[in-house]
């Protein structure tokens, strides 16, 4: 793809050019030598400054700055983006500027808000820091570019190689809670898989509960550690945790002619639900790394067995948006999660949640729900719309409406509620 045409004059530079030309034409008509000299000097200054800038930008056409975002990207993070570049030929009175311009899709929604940030490279330095971020999680698509600008703010020349990059933005951490995880009911039999290392496959260190006759005394004496023989066909109990992340969206009135879309309050609910499931997965994994998580969302399923898989899942989850409400199979709902406890994460936008809970009322279930905060609710998590501007993004006009504090009545069950609200 070719480089897009972009004007080299800034708005002040264009204004100065127009004024100088108007004054020159007027002075020539009136034969005013003073105005002729003044306007000619201004045009000569613009010509010289423009020629120097064009020459410098041409020398920097092959420049490839190295962009280093603070990965993984996390909402409400104060970490800066680092840009490094080995530049030695910057003309006098000019500075190299790094720009990020793009769109941010909160929680993967179809409506995006514009994002812009800029930083200049100090003379003699080889790195600059871009300060911008995102108030909540979602998906960011941006263009990274360089401009050579003069210190007077009159010219802006494109230079270097442009890059288009996309990133998932994870939700900011939620408030920690004291919560007891019960995974005993989720234990199941599992075959050991074959290993390329036969010694490690057939032998392992002794653990309490192993039979004494399975101990390899000869090997244990040689390495001064009790070693147990393991049969290739042995079965072990593993703790399997069933999780349902219900990212079902709000129900809209189909009779309305205008296009409906999630409000920023509803997107904030989904953001907090993602933060809560991230807290749950990490907390349980830290408690016991042998747990296996089976996660279902509205459109997909995951099987997570270690920290690396958990982080990969959270990275993918960041861009998952609301799914349309759907009619669920009640018979299937009753059997979801088997006989073990089911952990459900949802929001007040999930209109089918009460029916789902009612179908599971005779089986163990724990619900984590995010809903709107009433006036004076303590511990609620707040999203301030002014944080968008403070972080280099611009909220949509439709988001400026105050939140309605949507709440959902749920039948009696074991549940934990997170409250979330929107403020200007």
The first and second tokens of residue 221, run together, are 């004496």
Query: What is the residue whose two structure tokens read 């299937």?
Result: 332
Q: Quick one: 367 and 221 in the same domain? A: no
Burial of 164 (0-12, 13-18, 19+ CB in 10 A): exposed
Domain assignment present for residue 398? The answer is yes
Query: What average pLDDT values come out for the chain (424 residues) when binned by 10 residues?
Result: 68 93 91 91 94 91 88 87 85 91 91 90 87 90 92 92 91 82 51 42 65 74 74 57 89 54 88 93 86 89 90 92 75 57 90 84 86 75 86 82 75 78 84
Query: What is the residue whose two structure tokens read 């993070």?
Result: 77
What pLDDT is attached to residue 335?
Answer: 56
The total domain count for the chain is 3
Which of 185, 209, 233 represents a domain boundary (last residue)?
233
Which of 132, 155, 170 represents a domain boundary (last residue)?
170
The first and second tokens of residue 383, run together, are 């999203």
Beta bridge pairs of residue 333:
none
What pLDDT is attached to residue 199?
Answer: 42
Domain assignment present for residue 357? The answer is yes
Domain assignment present for residue 52? The answer is yes
Measure CA 413 to chain center. Answer: 32
What pLDDT is attached to residue 232?
Answer: 52
Residue 380 sits at φ, ψ, to 5 deg, of -75, 150
Q: Quick one: 155 and 37 in the same domain? A: yes
Residue 54 CB contacts under 8 Å (≥ 6 apart), including other chains: 8, 157
Domain assignment present for residue 152? The answer is yes
Residue 8 CB contacts under 8 Å (≥ 6 apart), including other chains: 50, 53, 54, 155, 156, 157, 158
Residues constituting the chain: 424
- Burial call 293-326: b when 16+ CB within 10 Å, e when fewer: bbbbbbeeebebeeeebbbebbbebbbbbbeebe
For residues 396 and 391, give the distance between their C-alpha atoms in angstroms, rounded to a whole number.
15
Q: Quick one: 17 and 161 in the same domain? A: yes
DSSP string, 190-236: EEPPP-S-HHHHHEEE--TT--GGGB-HHHHHHHTS-EEE--TT-EE
What pLDDT is attached to residue 16?
Answer: 93
Domain assignment present for residue 180? The answer is no
β-pairing verdict for 292-296 and 301-304: antiparallel
Q: Quick one: 99 and 218 in the same domain? A: no
Beta bridge pairs of residue 370:
347, 418
Rg (C-alpha) for the chain, rounded Å, is 30
The first and second tokens of residue 189, run together, are 């039999």
Q: Quick one: 26 and 159 in the same domain? A: yes
Domain assignment present for residue 65? The answer is yes
β-pairing verdict for 342-347 and 365-372: parallel
Which helix (H) or strand (E) element contains residue 418?
strand 414-423
Domain assignment present for residue 183? The answer is no
Residue 374 is part of a domain; what is its CATH number? Answer: 3.40.50
Q: Quick one: 274 and 326 in the same domain? A: yes
What pLDDT is attached to residue 325?
Answer: 78
Q: Quick one: 8 and 50 in the same domain? A: yes
Q: Quick one: 146 and 229 in the same domain? A: no
Q: Quick one: 153 and 199 in the same domain? A: no
Q: Quick one: 25 and 146 in the same domain? A: yes
β-pairing verdict for 301-304 and 365-372: unpaired
Domain assignment present for residue 157? The answer is yes
Q: Quick one: 298 and 151 in the same domain? A: no
Q: Which of 267, 254, 212 is nearest to 395 (CA)?
A: 267
Give the 3-state secondary structure of residue 314.
helix
For residues 180 and 165, give the distance between their C-alpha atoms in angstroms, rounded to a whole number.
41
Q: Quick one: 281 and 405 in the same domain? A: yes
Structural domain including 369 reads: 239-423
Residue 273 sits at φ, ψ, to 5 deg, of -65, -40
Q: Yes or no: say if 6 and 160 are a contact pair by the CB < 8 Å rule.
A: no
């Amino acid at each position: 793809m070719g480089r897009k045409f972009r004007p080299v004059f800034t708005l002040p530079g264009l204004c100065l050019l127009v004024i100088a030309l108007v004054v020159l034409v007027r002075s020539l008509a009136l034969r005013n030598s003073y105005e002729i000299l003044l306007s000619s000097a201004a045009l000569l200054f613009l010509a010289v400054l423009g020629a120097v800038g064009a020459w410098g930008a041409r020398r920097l056409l092959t420049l490839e700055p190295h962009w280093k975002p603070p990965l993984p990207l996390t909402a409400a993070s104060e970490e800066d983006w680092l840009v490094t570049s080995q530049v030695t030929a910057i003309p006098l009175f000019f500075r190299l500027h790094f720009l990020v311009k793009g769109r941010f899709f909160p929680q993967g929604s179809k409506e995006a808000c514009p994002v812009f940030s800029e930083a200049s490279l100090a003379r003699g330095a080889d790195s600059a820091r871009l300060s911008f971020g995102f108030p909540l999680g979602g998906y960011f698509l941006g263009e990274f570019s360089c401009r050579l600008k003069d210190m007077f703010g009159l010219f802006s020349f494109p230079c270097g190689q442009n890059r288009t990059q996309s990133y998932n933005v994870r939700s900011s951490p939620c408030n920690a809670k004291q919560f007891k995880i019960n995974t005993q009911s989720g234990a199941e039999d599992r075959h050991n898989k074959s290993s390329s290392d036969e010694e490690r496959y057939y032998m392992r260190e002794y653990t309490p509960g192993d039979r004494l006759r399975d101990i390899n005394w000869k090997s244990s004496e040689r390495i001064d550690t009790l070693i147990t023989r393991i049969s290739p066909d042995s079965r072990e109990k593993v703790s399997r945790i069933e999780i349902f992340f219900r990212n079902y969206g709000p129900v809209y009135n189909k009779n309305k002619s205008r296009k409906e879309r999630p409000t920023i309050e509803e997107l904030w609910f989904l953001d907090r639900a993602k933060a809560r499931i991230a807290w749950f997965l990490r907390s349980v994994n830290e408690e016991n790394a042998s747990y296996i998580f089976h996660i279902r969302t509205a459109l997909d399923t995951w099987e997570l067995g270690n920290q690396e898989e958990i982080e990969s899942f959270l990275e993918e989850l960041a861009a998952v948006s609301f799914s349309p409400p759907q009619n669920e199979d009640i018979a299937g709902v009753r059997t979801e999660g088997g006989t073990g406890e089911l952990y459900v994460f949802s929001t007040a936008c999930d209109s089918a949640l009460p029916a789902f809970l009612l179908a599971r009322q005779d089986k163990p279930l724990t619900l984590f729900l995010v809903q709107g905060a009433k006036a004076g609710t303590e511990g609620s998590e707040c999203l301030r719309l002014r944080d968008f501007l403070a972080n280099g993004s611009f909220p949509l006009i439709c988001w400026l409406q105050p939140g309605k504090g949507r709440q959902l009545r749920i039948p009696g069950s074991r549940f934990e509620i997170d409250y979330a609200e929107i403020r200007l």
